Structure 1
Amino acid sequence: MAMDEAAFAELTQAFSSAALDPSQWRPAMSKLADALGAVGCALELSDLTSGEAVIDNTAQLDGDLARLYEDRIFAINPRIRRAVPLRLGAIADDASLVDRDDPANGEFFDWLSRTPYYYLIGGKILAQDGAVGFLTANFSQAHGMATAEHHKVFAALTPHLINTMSAARAITRRSLRGEALTLEALGTERAFAFLSADGRLVEASVGFEALLRAQDTLRLRQGELTADRPGERRMVETFLAAAVGRRSPLAPPAPIRLRGTQGVRGLVLRAAPLAPRHDAYDIFRPAALLTLTDLDQPHRVRRGDLESLFGLTEREAEIAARLVEGATLERIAAALEISEHTVRQHLKSVFGKVGVTRQAELVAVVARLV
């Protein structure tokens, strides 16, 4: 099996679409499976804190086998135990993920022998905020294990998949399922924007535009971001060039911090490349995604998220959000015109619904949603 440059560019473009629309993961995985001669490809995402897992495989199991996997096999899968500790970007196959001589793996291999796939190769594409994710290709028993060519494809593709996942999570609320992952997200307060292949802003969220107007560090001139301070201008130019792959395709540049004159801590600019340079784009195919964070602004917790995710009441969500934003119980009580005792009673209910026992734990959980 060999893959030429044009075929690889088509694959990366297909996965780039998934950064904006999660429904495109499956078509992209089907393209990859066809290119590799695999039975199917799978995207597996897990939250190690909550235990939530999302698994989408283009090769479907029948009902009984799928239920057995969910009820029993997932918990004893030796591949998962060995894959979770791997570094981000690692590539692995069955040679390193399973020990076929270990009798403890017998039940797993008995189940596997009844599925359409048997061997696996995959890359770790997510390791962020307690969540891990893998994209794998699965081969039949007749096909045999992954080859050196399969490893080459995954080695080239995995950095791109990491960027795609990073971009997707920057746009959404960072949930595993990526709700509302469409261009409608541009109307949100999250500060992100898309770059064209020549480094110009082609789209920006409401939050990004508002942050640009509110600070004196970055400016938009003729569609290009630039720094006001001469000493930082070159830093921004180098960063944007790396973001769109002018130096190393698909290698995300390290984030940069810009100081300006108003704030003490400054702005943090991050980027996630979305496609190789010189790739074939449709009318709108961004080359990179930018996120902008003002370190001098207190983060704002979305009350509606707390209500929908944890079932909090409006008052409980307001108290939890204010606590995470740095207010003391005394200040919360004064602002809401209730007693501290009432605030503590509401917090007790919040703890039960969120699944924590202390204020520090609540802050740690809610802060991950910001």
Structure 2
Amino acid sequence: MPESAYANMDFSNYKPSSQDFVLKDLPVRVNPAPGPLGADDEAAVTAEHLSQLISALYVAAMEPDAWQVFLEILRQRIGGNYASFIVRDTHGENIGWVISAADSRRDLLQHDPYAFCSPLRGIPRDTVVVLAEWMTEREWRACRYYTDWCKDVDVFNVMAIDIVTDDGCYYGLRVTRSEAMAGFGPREKELMGLLIPHFKRALNMHLALHRDRQVISLYGRATAQLMMGVVILDQNGMVIESNPAATTILNSGDGLKVNNGALEAAYANDNRKLQRLVRDALLHAQTSQLSMTEGMSIGRQSGQLNWGVVVQSISSDEWSEGKQRPSVAVFVRDTTGRADPPLQLAQQLFQLTPSETAVAIQLANGLSLDEAAETLNIRLNTARAHLRSIFSKTGVRRQTELVRLFLNSVAWLGNK
């Protein structure tokens, strides 16, 4: 199994506390599951059996912490002593990563140290494999994987599935029984087989959701570094979310604030116009699939340059009618905030020396050459020499062009 399986699923944030029942043998509290499949069952798999498993599986697709609940239901339903989800297999320097539900064993490891020698590596994908049908009992008892690992953890019978997600990553699902328990039969195989398409779909959903969250996070960081504040309002005009840049602006209380959950401007005239734009955007979102975009300027008590504010409607989703539905986006631009891009990144982008980069950043933040020299504690003649060199390297001829070049560059996105 490739390393990308672990990275793509984002199980790096899987909380150890959610595995306490595995490590300390504390029971998982779930709705009572139907009993394990038995020889006397009239039906192979009932709708109740499958429904409970599939429901837990799709919950796990939304939130990694819920995987152990699905595994515990699966273990109980099939009647195994363990049910495990292999997120990352052991290879090279990896110790692997396995999420398990255990029946009675304490201190179960979170990884399988002998997975590299498992005879189930390389089984056909999207297929239920029972170990007893894969190799003889004699071969299994002589296998290092059994003698060095499975025997000590009371694993003798194994039923396995390996699947490949849309991005080419391998994941495994295992249910095991002790030697004292009966082997897996047709009914258990049937249930596992019915889970295969749902198991694959749930993993693909998880991958897509995690990928979307990563992209959204990157967008949020980019707008924050550009000092673009974004405030999201619900269908009632109440604030439900704001990015870091907007939070900083609102917390300053300089012209804009949140009062009783609503976005307000400090000055009455500005606030009346802001509230009208928000109301118009809310009405527009209910009647049109196209967004409405309006702008205004909002004064600041500090006397600094006004905030530039844009109010935009968010098209309503006919499938969503719940509370706090995103309906309006308010963008706020800080035109005066100082930004300090990483010195090394700015040097790399413009091929400047550290001293030249420091001068360019001060100029980009609105200082004159005299003020930049004083701030950097260098002679004015030295600053002029740096400026001439900067002009030569960047190809600009005026200080205003240099400022525009720096402000429009990607150097500012390097801030953490």
TM value normalised by structure 2: 0.40
The structure with the larger Rg is: 2
TM value normalised by structure 1: 0.44
